[in-house]
């Protein structure tokens, strides 16, 4: 195989690997922010649960204050009993006490309901507290893992760039410039295989005469459709000339 072509194939491989690594490094901040956002949402939902509990506590205190007032009223009504002279007045007073007592029981029931709600709420809080702790641990582990992946990929990039420079140095300037122009205008794949008379870059048919030339791997040949540099890898039976 033409040495320049072999170098171009290697250069393309390295550039594809570099692109892959850069893509995966680029995707990491988004992965982290998604994990953080999910965790923040859980924390916000948890805060809401706690607020609900606090509002129930306040409701209970308010009702207890009302209950105190009612009890105070009953107490006063009962003390005034002794000052009552007529039977009619006595009956009316008794009725007043009775209705105050009814009020007392009603408020007491309401307090019980609030306390039950508080019970449910506090159990839910405890459950969510546990969940949130697990979520936080998971998120932090994921972040660590992603940071580690990023470091690995960055190290890999350094190695790839060193290898790239070495191979780049061995390619003729005109050819290297042509490669760069092509790679900058396309999707990152410039050197590709010609397989069964089809360019694997654009999937268009290659004229038979040209394919014969490409199969020899002796010249730098470009696809008439997409301009990609083509090489032939063999049909799978013979070993490839690419090392
Ligand atoms: Zn093509």
Query: Which domain range does residue 224 map to?
Result: 173-231
- Going from the Cα of 200 to the center of ligand 1, the distance in angstroms, rounded, reads 7
Is-contact 11 171, C-beta < 8 A?
yes
- Examine the fold and report which residue of 138, 169, 200 is the final residue of a domain before the chain moves on: 169
- pLDDT tens-digit series, residues 102-152: 999 999 999 999 999 999 999 999 999 999 999 999 999 999 999 999 999
Instruction: Calculate how far, in angstroms, residue 242's C-alpha sits from the geometric centre of ligand 1.
Output: 20
- State whether 83 and 159 are in the same domain: yes
Residues 186 and 163 in one domain: no
Statement to judge: residues 88 and 136 lie in one domain? yes
In a shared domain, residues 116 and 137: yes
DSSP sequence for 11-43: HHHHHHHHHHHHHHHHHHHHHHHHHHHHHHHHH
Same domain, 101 and 157: yes
How far does residue 225's CA lie from ligand 1's centre (Å)?
5
In a domain, 219, yes or no: yes
Please tell me whether residues 186 and 122 are part of one structural domain: no
- Tell me which residue has tokens 């009223």: 73
What is the CA(223)–ligand 1 centre distance, in A?
5
State residue 82's pLDDT score.
Answer: 87
Question: pTM here?
Answer: 0.73
CB neighbours of residue 151 within 10 Å: 11
Strands 198-199 and 191-195: antiparallel
The Cα 161–Cα 170 span in angstroms is 15
């Amino acid at each position: 195989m033409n040495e320049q072509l072999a170098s171009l194939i290697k250069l393309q491989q390295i550039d594809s690997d570099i692109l892959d690594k850069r893509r995966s490094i680029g995707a990491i901040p988004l992965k982290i922010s998604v994990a953080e956002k999910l965790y923040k949402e859980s924390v916000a939902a948890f805060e809401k649960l706690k607020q609900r509990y606090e509002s129930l506590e306040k409701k209970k205190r308010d009702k207890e204050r009302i209950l105190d007032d009612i009890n105070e009223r009953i107490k006063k009504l009962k003390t005034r009993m002794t000052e009552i002279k007529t039977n009619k007045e006595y009956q009316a007073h008794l009725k007043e006490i009775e209705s105050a007592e009814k009020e007392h029981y009603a408020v007491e029931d309401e307090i019980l309901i609030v306390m039950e709600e508080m019970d449910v709420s506090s159990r839910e809080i405890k459950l969510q507290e546990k969940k949130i702790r697990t979520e936080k641990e998971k998120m932090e582990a994921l972040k660590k893992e992603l940071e580690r992946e990023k470091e690995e990929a960055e190290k890999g990039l350094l190695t790839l760039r060193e290898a790239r420079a070495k191979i780049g140095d061995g390619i003729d300037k005109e050819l290297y410039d042509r490669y760069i122009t092509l790679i900058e205008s396309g999707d990152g794949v410039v050197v590709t295989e010609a397989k069964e008379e089809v360019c694997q870059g654009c999937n268009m048919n290659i004229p038979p005469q040209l394919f014969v030339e490409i199969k020899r791997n002796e010249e730098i040949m470009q696809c008439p459709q997409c301009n990609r540099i083509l090489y032939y890898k063999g049909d799978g039976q013979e070993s490839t000339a690419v090392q």
